[in-house]
Every structure is written in structure tokens, then in C-alpha cells.
Amino acid sequence: MNSMPDFKPITSPISEEDAKALRAGDYLLLSGELFTARDAAHKRMYEAKTSGAALPVKTEGASIFYVGPCFDKDGRPTGAGPTTSGRMDAYAPLLYDCGVRATIGKGDRSPAVYDAIKRNGALYLCAIGGAGALYAKAILSLETVAYPELGTEAVRKMRVKDMPVIVGIDSLGKSIFASHKS
């Protein structure tokens, strides 16, 4: 009989010490503060940083969830499924270099992202595609903090409790993905 894996609790913002203690394949229950951001928001943040402007959120130890939440007519989140992380790979290394400790999405990452993760003692956490309703249940609060004109792609501060994720790439660059096994 198969047993459920043990889930380790972790809180975001994530310390460098906590990130370095985790290994690829660890199951986590993530609680605390995340920022949501997808393609359009990443492009804006990248352009801001490369032009010398400040980023719209505090990135030190931050976790960014690649998601565009869906809402019911009363404004409550009803879905929060991850999007494909590779779409952010052109922008992610710069954000890791600005202190982002973890990104959350689905799918493997580019070699440049692996390098940024190792260079910064960071993580890539995997969320389950198709489980948006499950993830919405973990959301305690949601507030738009940047780029509201982007609609579902706006940057939001999200507070979560016990959101299930898997360490896809650890701070050493070890991975659960077959193409990057060492």
C-alpha cells in the first residue's frame, strides 16, 4: 500500500538557510506571502529594472507564483492554477538576482534559470497543473499591488496557508526533471 509523502511546512518569504535545506523532490506546504505575476508583469518588471527604475514589490526572499487568479462575481478567488514557467525564463534570472528566493509554476526551466537558482541559493517550486480550485482554497487574501491595468496578469500580493508544492529545482541545481538529472 502506498503512503502519502511527508509534507514539510515552509513560510514565504523564504530565508536562504531554509532554501538551502531543501532538496529536489521534497514535498512542501507553503504558507505566507507570495506575489503573483505572469508574462506581461514579468516583462514590465524586467524593463523597469534594466532601465534603472525600482521594482514594484520587495523581492528579498520573495516567492513569485506564475498564476493569473480567476474570481467569482463577489471577487473571491475560484481558481489559481499555475502557468508554464518557461514563458518567464527570459526574465527570471534577473529577478532571482534581485533577491527572489523561489518561483512557482509548472514545467522545466532553461539552463539560465538553473544557473540563477544556483548562483542565488534559490528554489523553483512546482505546482500541479489543473489543480486551480485546490490552490484557490489555500488563498487567505489577495491584493493588487502593481500594474492593475493588466487584469488577471496584474501583480498581486497573495497570502496562502498550506499550499502544496514540490521542490522542482533545489539551490544546488538538482532537479526532478529527467532532462536535468545529474
Asked, for residue 158, whether it belongs to a domain, the answer is yes
Position 134 scores a pLDDT of 84
Position 123 scores a pLDDT of 98
Asked, for residue 182, whether it belongs to a domain, the answer is no
CB 40 within 8 A of CB 127: no
Q: For position 20, which CATH number holds?
A: 3.20.130.10
Per DSSP (E only), the strands in the chain are 7-12, 27-36, 63-65, 70-71, 77-79, 102-105, 123-126, 139-146, 155-169
* Mean pLDDT score, 66-90: 81
Position 76 scores a pLDDT of 74
Asked, for residue 179, whether it belongs to a domain, the answer is no
Q: What's the domain count of the chain?
A: 1
Full domain range(s) for residue 81: 7-174
End-to-end CA distance of the chain: give it in Å, rounded.
Answer: 30
Cell of 10: 515552509
CB 136 within 8 A of CB 128: no
| CA-to-CA dists, residue 92 to 5, 37, 106, 123, 177, angstroms | 29, 11, 14, 12, 18
Average pLDDT, the chain: 91
Radius of gyration for the alpha carbons in the chain, expressed in angstroms and rounded: 15
Asked, for residue 11, whether it belongs to a domain, the answer is yes
Asked, for residue 180, whether it belongs to a domain, the answer is no
**Phi (first) and psi of residue 9, to 5 degrees:** -75, 145
| CA-to-CA dists, residue 70 to 27, 29, 138, 154, angstroms | 25, 22, 14, 12
Distance, CA of 162 to CA of 146 (rounded, Å): 25
pLDDT digits (tens, 9 = 90+) for 113-143: 999 999 999 999 999 887 778 888 899 998 9
CB 13 within 8 A of CB 61: yes
Distance of CA 41 to the CA centre of its chain: 13
Q: Model pTM?
A: 0.92
pLDDT digits (tens, 9 = 90+) for 27-66: 999 999 999 999 999 999 999 999 999 999 999 999 999 9
Asked, for residue 153, whether it belongs to a domain, the answer is yes
Asked, for residue 19, whether it belongs to a domain, the answer is yes
* pLDDT higher than 80, residue 107: yes
State the DSSP string of 131-146: -HHHHHHTEEEEEEEE
Where does the pLDDT of residue 88 fall: very low under 50, low under 70, confident under 90, or very high at 90 and above?
Answer: very high
Position 45 scores a pLDDT of 96
Cell of 165: 508544492
Asked, for residue 94, whether it belongs to a domain, the answer is yes
